[in-house]
Chain A
């Protein structure tokens, strides 16, 4: 506590932090003042008046709202004297006067602040004998959120969230007086990526979830904390389960990552877990058909094939793609399995759409998410955070809006942060190095001046899939050369990718942020035995190796390299040519449909473990439902295969794997489940200290510059896409933009394309028909096509693109 003041609450003196709000100071000293509209993460509005307390004013005692007034030295506060109690009871009576009291059929019943405070601070009866307000109930304000205006107490939490936090004010007050209501604008649904947060913070059952509505009573729910894996910041969530079914996720307030907020993808994106299309038993291909078999048969079949291939061709004939969707324990098992059982360094969790593994795993100058709040300048040169990193998006937005941090965004087109961006630069995808050179030469004075601030946090990643992997490293190097103190957060998506890399799921990495060089191999030899010295291949090289039959055996772990890679060309051929394909997955997908053996894997909330987020924070994942059918965690499947292949990897439970990780992976020294459970509830950022760290200080690189073309392709990801899990999450899958091509109106005119009409988009790698979206946010000369959309043909990443109008 910095400066303090002395205040008296109900006759007891307390030292409280100067400048704090009275409601907060009282809570910290043990006095709960009732409230509806006040929310710690938003600005106070003093609207509900529930937190009225009495203080001594200049003209005698006066009632003030504790949520809008700061503490002052000598303040004498009464929170429960007769005057206050009467005022609070009065407010509750007013709130309940027109409330429908349909608690028995209200989702909020049982966890409702209005119920709770009516009980604790209400008059206990109503004197209102008039006819209550009536509204149609409920109305769908989006496909995810329902609004019941009769229950609404007009606390402005949802409207403030949309305005202040998520920056898409699509829900607002309309009308006034007794008929004031919350609603959306005509013909504009509440289409926010963050709409679900309003359901969570609604203090009554006015905003309810389409998905959760009428599914359970809160007191019947089993609630377990875990971390969401839809975005690499791993926001903390509470998973709510009834009768072995995940029914909803709610955000857990947490300073480290998400402040309690979740993207709708995180909150609502779990339908796939209960999908009828889940794989539930091992499958073997017989006479061209996949048939269900027992575990022993499937495991033996794979083990035999491993022995066969290994004996004749050695480790170079194996490829392992995937592993980013599991826990750290799964990733560790896979890493060990690849090196020890398969004898190969051909492992890659990145699927070729990401940055260099050393750059992603490096610890030197790594930014924490919290550094965003205290920076002088934030540089975002990478993907649109709103689409790919929603948790970071909210954090950066808040820093720019509330904390006075200067925000610099460099991106090929408009981003979700545009309205809070102080300095912004666009560039033609593929020509990022040209812009970087210009900046280095001082041609963008404001930008380079902003980057010369004392504390700069740079969030760097692939803004467009057409950008090569090295631009981000070059940007990081430039920022390091300019800023007083630079903190770098390399951006990459895909669930637990950072955990997977930390466990060595990259050709050049071993567990614990150790390079797969001789020293690294030697250090691990005691625990793992001999580790192959041959340099491993990344995803792209592995797919090429499969295509040329140099690689015979492919293990896919939660990966779909046909559909989910930027370059659509090598995947199908590689899968076609592969001699033997084993897949560990939740679903059939375009890549494993032709596999020889498929094992059913357990998913999120179905297994225990840990995960490491983008800043290196290790958090506990907890299990709360059994997986369907015979699903098992990846590590268990791998351990069994290893046993049957006669090369046990000695892993018997997720917790013992965690223990082994803490012993052999230097960056994970001391990070055990016990430690996370009891000492680091918000997770621990690795390395904790003492361990040697992987450093990767990129030098300023010169990269390829795409040839100048009349039109340049920008391929970026959207929050909702055609990924395997999204495909089995219909409530979100239908919100994906689909096959669309964004064109600047000028370019559209030249191509003869009309808004909403079809255009043919042709690149060197692919072509397809898309619906034209005329969009001022896409600069002239750039065509933006969202990646991996339902019904869209892949275009690849070559920057040169041609667009022709097709017609309606």
Chain B
């Protein structure tokens, strides 16, 4: 476990540690070979849906030109893994981009970075410039006859643009709204209605390593159904929040109490959001000893998503937490379809009323029924009345209120306010920052905190 060197983002450092060797090798390989290699590695997409990366590539329709879009619109609350990859190791991603492009006969790739990531975007652009200067991008890369253009594009601050079809619309200059399905896969019709591969930053960053160690060895890391290591972002009430690179298969207890250093003040664990704000919550009584794999999470009615773990201790008001998450989704709804646009805001209003002591006895049932009109049957994965899963994602915290915290909601109604001694308010954010700065200096995480402020 080591920290990044200060110049980890430069091409010199990257090449000194064996960078761009695999991209050169890939130039000599056929599309079929590369697709088979990635299939054999078992690599699953790291953007949240955990779709097999090699299979996605194999879906690429024959029409040309084809495009590659790297989804660097990391905006799921609680997720901050790609940011580190973009800032600290942009060339690793670029090498993955080159490999992906070659495998998919792409001559123009795009990196779509969320607008709130100015520093990662600057680092990526600098890396692109460096790579271009060395002839690794542009006309005839690595001295071959293969051309690869690359455009870095900044989003304008919409969460929904992390959804691949909304991202594509945004890239085309349209409103960032998810497209209708079918077609289900951009690999059939994507950017400018041409075959398009959309891969997450972390997914492509894995590719140089797969080619380096070989698919077979890579597939031996982690869990057989979910190979390789993955980045997990832990935040909330833990002593050592941060990004951790881990093999799949450890337990939540291990993650929270060993790796993340447990809960400040040894307070009781109350709830875990296992995979970003979209994921239904876990509670320690039921889930603490579950393995962290996508299948175990799915069986428990949630998802590992983009590996964003948010830990909530006993001081957290569940109504308030739910309201905050629902408010996020209501704010981020693209406004396209009725249930999401109208329903999420309504949910937010009901939750705020309950939290502020204006709740009625019927409000939880109303909340559940309104939720049910967005996410039919109130299950995960959702049966949607919407175009995309954003609306149903807002329902995830409501599932926890229904299943584990019904009494707490009822208490709000009966008391006419929040029953928690803290009033449900989280600790002062300023004090939190101090804590995390201290703890992260002691952190054993692979990712160091921000030192240089450009």
Interface stretch of the complex, out of B238-246, B286-294, B338-346: B338-346
A171-187 residues with Cβ-Cβ distance < 8 A to B are 173, 175-180
Q: Is the CB of B335 within 8 A of A178?
A: yes
Q: Is the CB of A63 within 8 A of B342?
A: no
Q: Is the CB of A49 within 8 A of B331?
A: no
Known: A46-B180, A178-B330. A94 touches B346 (CB 8 A): yes
Q: Is the CB of A91 within 8 A of B385?
A: yes
In the complex, A46→B179 CA distance in Å? 10
Q: Is the CB of A176 within 8 A of B158?
A: yes
Q: How distant is B441 from chain A, measured CB to nearest CB, in Å?
A: 39
Count of residues in A whose CB is under 8 Å from the partner chain: 34
In the complex, A380→B339 CA distance in Å? 46
Q: Is the CB of A153 within 8 A of B338?
A: yes
Q: Is the CB of B373 within 8 A of A173?
A: no
Q: Is the CB of B332 within 8 A of A49?
A: no
Cβ contacts under 8 Å, B443 to chain A: none
In the complex, A305→B158 CA distance in Å? 80
Q: Is the CB of B334 within 8 A of A94?
A: no
In the complex, A50→B342 CA distance in Å? 13
With beta carbons under 8 angstroms apart, the residue of A44, A89, A94 that contacts B338 is A94
Count of residues in B whose CB is under 8 Å from the partner chain: 33
Q: How distant is A359 from chain B, measured CB to nearest CB, in Å?
A: 43
Check if A62 is an interface residue, CB within 8 A of chain B: yes
Question: Which chain A residue shows the least CB distance to B181?
Answer: A68
Check if A86 is an interface residue, CB within 8 A of chain B: yes
Check if B175 is an interface residue, CB within 8 A of chain A: yes
Q: Is the CB of B335 within 8 A of A176?
A: yes
Known: A94-B342, A95-B342. A46 touches B384 (CB 8 A): no
Q: How distant is A322 from chain B, measured CB to nearest CB, in Å?
A: 51
In the complex, A154→B383 CA distance in Å? 23
Known: A86-B373, A154-B335, A177-B332. A46 touches B387 (CB 8 A): yes
Over the window 365-379 of chain B, the binary record of Cβ atoms lying under 8 Å from chain A Cβ atoms (1 yes, 0 no) is 010001011101000
Q: Is the CB of B383 within 8 A of A128?
A: no
In the complex, A49→B353 CA distance in Å? 28
Q: Is the CB of A93 within 8 A of B333?
A: no
Over the window 72-95 of chain A, the binary record of Cβ atoms lying under 8 Å from chain B Cβ atoms (1 yes, 0 no) is 000000000001001101110111
Check if B58 is an interface residue, CB within 8 A of chain A: no
Q: Is the CB of A180 within 8 A of B385?
A: no
Check if A597 is an interface residue, CB within 8 A of chain B: no
Check if A286 is an interface residue, CB within 8 A of chain B: no
Check if B337 is an interface residue, CB within 8 A of chain A: yes
Cβ contacts under 8 Å, A664 to chain B: none
Question: Which chain A residue shows the least CB distance to B386?
Answer: A49
Question: Which chain B residue shows the least CB distance to A68?
Answer: B180
Q: Is the CB of B346 within 8 A of A47?
A: no
Q: Is the CB of A63 within 8 A of B335?
A: no
Question: Which chain B residue shows the least CB distance to A69?
Answer: B182
Over the window 345-369 of chain B, the binary record of Cβ atoms lying under 8 Å from chain A Cβ atoms (1 yes, 0 no) is 1100110010000000000001000
Q: How distant is B176 from chain A, measured CB to nearest CB, in Å?
A: 8
Check if B336 is an interface residue, CB within 8 A of chain A: yes
B170-194 residues with Cβ-Cβ distance < 8 A to A are 175, 180
With beta carbons under 8 angstroms apart, the residue of A49, A62, A173, A179 that contacts B337 is A49
In the complex, A709→B330 CA distance in Å? 64
With beta carbons under 8 angstroms apart, the residue of B338, B370, B385, B387 that contacts A95 is B338
With beta carbons under 8 angstroms apart, the residue of A62, A175, A178 that contacts B345 is A178
Q: How distant is B295 from chain A, measured CB to nearest CB, in Å?
A: 16
Q: Is the CB of A154 within 8 A of B341?
A: yes
In the complex, A93→B369 CA distance in Å? 11
Q: How distant is B369 from chain A, measured CB to nearest CB, in Å?
A: 8
In the complex, A176→B331 CA distance in Å? 8
Q: Is the CB of B334 within 8 A of A63?
A: no
Check if A679 is an interface residue, CB within 8 A of chain B: no
Known: A86-B373, A154-B335, A173-B175. A94 touches B343 (CB 8 A): yes
Cβ contacts under 8 Å, B158 to chain A: 176
A85-114 residues with Cβ-Cβ distance < 8 A to B are 86-87, 89-91, 93-95, 97-98
Over the window 208-228 of chain B, the binary record of Cβ atoms lying under 8 Å from chain A Cβ atoms (1 yes, 0 no) is 000000000000000000000
Check if A524 is an interface residue, CB within 8 A of chain B: no
Known A63-B385, A154-B341, A178-B342; 11 more pairs at CB < 8 Å: A48-B337, A48-B338, A90-B339, A91-B373, A91-B385, A94-B346, A95-B338, A130-B353, A173-B175, A177-B341, A178-B344
The 3 nearest A-B residue pairs measured at CB: A90-B373, A180-B335, A94-B342
**Can you show 28 pairs from A to B with CB atoms below 8 A apart?**
A44-B180, A47-B336, A47-B337, A49-B339, A49-B385, A68-B180, A83-B376, A86-B373, A87-B373, A87-B385, A90-B339, A90-B370, A90-B372, A91-B339, A91-B385, A93-B373, A94-B343, A94-B373, A97-B346, A98-B342, A130-B350, A153-B338, A173-B335, A176-B158, A177-B341, A178-B344, A180-B334, A180-B336
**Residues of A that sit less than 8 Å from B by CB:** 44-50, 52, 62-63, 68, 83, 86-87, 89-91, 93-95, 97-98, 127-128, 130, 153-154, 173, 175-180
